[in-house]
Structure 1
């Protein structure tokens, strides 16, 4: 089995911030990665941010290893262990031992899809998502992104109320920075169900599976792209897949940015942590 790449895009959310997303496909696997780092953390790896380094490194290693891989969990674990070894070696090289604090490590959301005979399987960490369209036109959603998006939007609304700011102003407040650090610490001190430098994350990943026949399309997306469905309610998952397959991903990205910059630039209607997030999506096809 293999995926055929039909379309992909990855757009930075702002010219002032590096794009910390990536996506790709190789062999029977396709993936979308959405990186993050605690705001204000100076990079020690060779990139604009350590999150950029992580997603670019992971994207390259997945592309190299996927054609020979048969197991999604093993593939993800191999990339995590390689990245962890490189990062910890750089900490020792630079003497930046404060970066041993796990809440300062780069992390990412990841959805990895695998095509098998008669079956699509996904492995998801955090809020990337998979939309799957079967040969008859039925569309399925795999991942926790809808629930996570609702919780994040509620938190963004609370912080904007408390700080009396809009979405961009809120990001410059001490309340936002303190809340970001609190959430990062809580995430790594409990169950690190995120992609990055934690080998034990693989055991905590959400697994999805669909038994399907015939031509199947899979759209993997970061939360910055899936916001069209999960936050802005501009269309449902079925219409998203119809647009992606029929017209390509670019018109969907144009509509996404129109909502964020013209319809709701302040975040009052759709509370969120960034006016425009990095938006990444990849559309692949397999005959099962």
Structure 2
């Protein structure tokens, strides 16, 4: 089983809902980072359908994970339930309009004997620290981060904008609209947590050793930015800091970098001044 050593979940902006969540239950744990196309009218939650999806998945995983045998089957079941709940409320024209759905990156882990299974959608990360101090990084986040940061730099330069304003810039909205239409025309929903249960067939699955004493840090991209965007530390250092001082000083460091060292996004191009930052620290 996992012992939760610490957890944290900070919204990226005090006036906007936190669309991240994390949790643990028995031999299972997860971090979820949801989003939705800007301007999409919410139907499940007064402020954010993305926040609703995160809460729904967290609650169902908490209930179902202790009895599950396989991560793919578990996530398929949760996504089927989410789809049913959404269709019971959403207008019929939104049922199959996947570009209007909330979507989620997530990492789900399970201890199986002395093995850790990790299933990943998108850019959440699992850092796994073995009892001998070696650290393994699981997930796609570093590669995805490079592409996103490059696009943010390109669009901010074109708009003459900063991370605090880029989401409202015409050049960003045009790019987002083009991407949305390409996705719609392709007819293929993204490989993310959503209302498309078949997306689980495209989950990334990895394993790592998981003996007693192993420590695991699950992080959304707003937290893992310390490693893969701001390069304030490497994977080993973030694990050491988390174990020594807890997660709050690390979240504070991310906010310091975003608000004091690089508010203009010149050093670290990004689409938000600060993203939701969520992490859960576990010991086996």
Q: TM-score interval w.r.t. the shorter chain? A: over 0.9
Q: Quick check: 1:47–1:53 contact (8 Å CA) kept in 2?
A: no
Superposed counterparts of 1:1-288, under 5 Å: 2-91=1-90, 95=91, 97-98=93-94, 100-186=96-182, 189-190=187-188, 192-286=190-284
Stretches of structure 1 lacking an aligned partner (at least 5 in a row): none
Deviation at 1:186, TM superposition (A): 4.4
Deviation at 1:46, TM superposition (A): 2.9
CA distance in structure 2 between the aligned counterparts of 1:16 and 1:174, rounded to whole angstroms: 23
CA distance in structure 2 between the aligned counterparts of 1:150 and 1:12, rounded to whole angstroms: 23
Please give the per-residue CA displacement for 1:46-83, whole angstroms capped at 9, x wherever unaligned. 34210011001111111111111121111111110000
Please give the per-residue CA displacement for 1:102-139, whole angstroms capped at 9, x wherever unaligned. 10100000100111111111000000010000000000
Change (3 A) 1:82 1:138: same
CA RMSD of aligned residues (A): 1.4
Change (3 A) 1:187 1:278: farther
CA distance in structure 2 between the aligned counterparts of 1:275 and 1:148, rounded to whole angstroms: 18
Given the two structures, how large is their TM-score scaled by the length of structure 2? 0.95
Say which SS state the counterpart of residue 165 (structure 2) adopts: helix
Count the aligned residue pairs. Answer: 282
Stretches of structure 2 lacking an aligned partner (at least 5 in a row): none
Given the two structures, how large is their TM-score scaled by the length of structure 1? 0.94
Say which SS state the counterpart of residue 111 (structure 1) adopts: strand
Q: Quick check: 1:134–1:214 contact (8 Å CA) kept in 2?
A: no
Deviation at 1:183, TM superposition (A): 3.2
Deviation at 1:3, TM superposition (A): 1.1
Q: Quick check: 2:221–2:277 contact (8 Å CA) kept in 1?
A: yes
Once structures 1 and 2 are overlaid, which stretch shifts more, 243-252 or 98-107?
A: 98-107
